[in-house]
Structure 1
Amino acid sequence: MPEIHHGISTTESATGARAINLISTAIIGLVATASGEGLDEDVFPLNRPALITDVRTAIGKAGNDGTLKKALEAIADQCSPTIVVVRVEKGEDDAETATNVIGDTVDGQLTGMKALLVAESQIGVRPRILGTPGLDTQAVITALMPIAKELRAFVYAKPPAETIAAAIAAKPTYGDRELMLIWPDFTGWEGDAVARALGTRARIDQEVGWHKSLSNYVVNGVTGIDKDVSWNIEGKTGDAKLLNDAPITTLIRNNGFRFWGNRTCSADPKYVFEVAVRTNHVLRETIALGLQWASDQPLTPSLMKDTLESINAAFDDLKGQKKIMGALAWWDASINSATTLANGKARIRYKFTAVAPMESLDLLMEITDEFYVDFADALAQL
């Protein structure tokens, strides 16, 4: 006999746009050396990603030797972000240390900076702000770039150079949009500026947003700059202009110590600004993670409508927060053939405009006598 249902049944339909939540960007990925008294190897295991959520407490467990404790102190002066730390061994010489920092695959495990790639699977967070303060060499900076690209993270590094000329000469070695070079250093230790850049970047993300550049934001805990760099606000001449033209971000003192420079190492005009690259990263990751619900659902027009509405709602929200100038996702029939769709593949186009920093402001001055025209009337009123 056929099954008989006498009554009412309800079928739930989950359609419509879904909210897309922004990714966390104020997560630092730090590679450092540490040893000596006070080092807690359970908190900072060698060559493994360690999750730090209380930087002040972590400082007391970072050991007295190496770069880790000093880097954490510099970061803590700015804010208390989430940090992924990979501790590496200091070598017998700088070359061996650099090799340890770069890392390898040992017994099936990634070591050195490569361990940052497994942070998300091991400890549940993905670092977005990367650096190796005090350990930057050309080889280290170069090796960090593929990792940054895979993580969609941004790198802050100091080129190994003792003079302005040497720093500018080193710039052509690097051409990555995910990299900002910083020169010189703050006084204290080699790597202090990079460590404070990591902390300041996380602090800006927390206080303002990823759409504000590192430049012209007061850096806490600084006592001086270790090299002379001439600077003036009109910026037509001087060392700071030469470095920014390279482009290299420099350090200035004006109502506090600040980073001065907005640019990446990219020659692509669309990605010369740090904020454009990070906006790209945020949108890519936010949309991809926010659409996980749509993956493997029946590929129907209603699914595409819901998907497009979800993306554009997120774009509208970001525009309302002034974090982007605008963005739009749309269906392009020319790249979605019946055969492609039947194979379970769909393509959505989208475009965006990042909020550029006002790097240059021209004030057009004119001297005139027009404000003397009513001199007699003004005098008569006295």
Structure 2
Amino acid sequence: MAFFHGIEITEVSDGIRPVETVRSAVIGVVGTAPGASAASFPLDTPVLLPGHPRLAADLGTTGTLPDAVEGIFSQAGAFVVVIRVAEGADTAATLANIIGSEVAGTGIHALPLAGSVTGVVPRILIAPGFTSARAGGTANPAAAALQGVAAKLRAVAVIDAPNTTDAAAITYAGDWGSARLFVVDPHVLVFDQATATNVPRPASPRVAGLMARVDGENGFWYSPSNHIINGIVGTDRPIEFNLSNPNNAANLLNEKRVAVIVRREGWRLWGNRTTSADAQWSFLPVRRTADMVYESLEAAMLWAMARPFSRQLLLDVQETVQTYINTLVTRGALLGGKVWIDPSLNSGVELMAGKLTVDLDLEPPAPLESLKIRAHRNNGYYQELVADMAA
């Protein structure tokens, strides 16, 4: 370098980066609100309600969205992305609007645009009032659309079963085999101020709000099962429930991958499982925890892209991921996790092509679902009793 008599400071950008966990409790809801303000809630456009129900006043009082938003906020002050669609001339036309077009980005297919439009990505998806029907004995098309969008967003969709019988709920759940779908039955009863009566409403908004509340109070690695649902006065049909006897309706429905709402010291969500047939991903919080880890790491590693390969770069990438995993283990979100760079997957040819493969193992904690307590008789305590008297 040229002669320099003085002090030079150069910033070096080596070193690990902090990883921030992405928002897990953003809810995306698709529905109708014919009385809404078109300026505040334009059709097929993601609109963010950042944590307060008063912002939903412009939705009006008709359609499915007002109750859905009220149901969500009765559980928690969540971030809610609202997609309003037009009511059709009949039920079929409205359902078509709810599903929307992937090409045009309308209806349910407007949800992937939320990140660009609102700055947040919905992780819990619902379309209350439109996922229950099985027309002609076929799977529900709105639920099918939610399943596809949930896979794109690394989200889960809470879908309502038919709200008729246990058998119908089991048949409904059998239409699906995805870790992205969480089936809930029956509908809940809420007090309607307009009619001064208890009316049935889809459970999905309350369950989505409950998931957001549990995320905030406990963490995304906690199951929403066995938590009280606020603001409901009952269910549209009773679900038989017994903690100590497996021969009851709630247990059968859970076995068939239907979460239910039961009365036990309040009205509780009861059920941990998605519709996945893969045992590795059947638990809802396990699926969501893995999703949050992946999303957070993707967002955090942007800094590394386009940097020249060096030993320091490899160390920084590996240690950044490992430090985040260690943090999650400390918080209880993971049981363990390890990061490594496998030489066999990172040949000179691969590195010359600008490709780096980093391996990661991790294990989200499964929720306790079956607790067995073994009780034993011990007559030796009688001898202790007599010995105590003689002492």
TM-score (norm 2): 0.92
Shift in CA distance, 336/361, structure 1 to aligned 2, threshold 3 Å: same
Show CA shifts across 1:124-162 (max 9, x none): 110111111112141100111111011111111012352
Equivalent position to 2:50, from 42, 50, 53: 53
CA apart distance, 1:359: 0.6
Secondary structure of the residue that 1:155 maps to in structure 2? strand
Whether the 8 Å CA contact 2:200–2:236 is kept in 1: the answer is no
Secondary structure of the residue that 1:324 maps to in structure 2? coil
Equivalent position to 1:157, from 143, 156, 159: 159
Secondary structure of the residue that 1:71 maps to in structure 2? helix
Aligned match of 2:180? 178
Aligned match of 2:305? 295
Shift in CA distance, 76/371, structure 1 to aligned 2, threshold 3 Å: same
CA distance in 2, matches of 1:171, 1:322: 31
Q: What is the Cα-based RMSD across aligned positions, in Å?
A: 1.7
Whether the 8 Å CA contact 1:135–1:191 is kept in 2: the answer is no
CA apart distance, 1:54: 4.2
Larger deviation: 332-341 or 154-163?
A: 154-163
Equivalent position to 1:120, from 115, 119, 123: 115
1:72 equivalenced with 2:82 (yes/no): no
CA distance in 1, matches of 2:245, 2:337: 33
Shift in CA distance, 326/224, structure 1 to aligned 2, threshold 3 Å: same
Secondary structure of the residue that 2:33 maps to in structure 1? strand
CA apart distance, 1:52: 0.5
CA distance in 1, matches of 2:79, 2:256: 32
Unmatched runs of 5 consecutive residues or more in structure 2: 134-139, 191-198
Whether the 8 Å CA contact 2:150–2:180 is kept in 1: the answer is yes
CA apart distance, 1:190: 5.3
CA apart distance, 1:64: 1.4
Aligned match of 2:29? 30
Unmatched runs of 5 consecutive residues or more in structure 1: none
Secondary structure of the residue that 1:29 maps to in structure 2? strand
CA apart distance, 1:235: 4.0
1:13 equivalenced with 2:23 (yes/no): no
Aligned match of 1:208? 218
CA apart distance, 1:379: 4.2
CA distance in 2, matches of 1:176, 1:191: 25
1:92 equivalenced with 2:89 (yes/no): yes
CA distance in 2, matches of 1:100, 1:287: 35
Q: Between Structure 1 and Structure 2, how many residues are aligned?
A: 376
Aligned match of 1:240? 250
CA apart distance, 1:94: 2.2
CA distance in 2, matches of 1:251, 1:328: 38
Aligned match of 1:361? 371
Show CA shifts across 1:325-355 (max 9, x none): 1111101011111001001101000010001
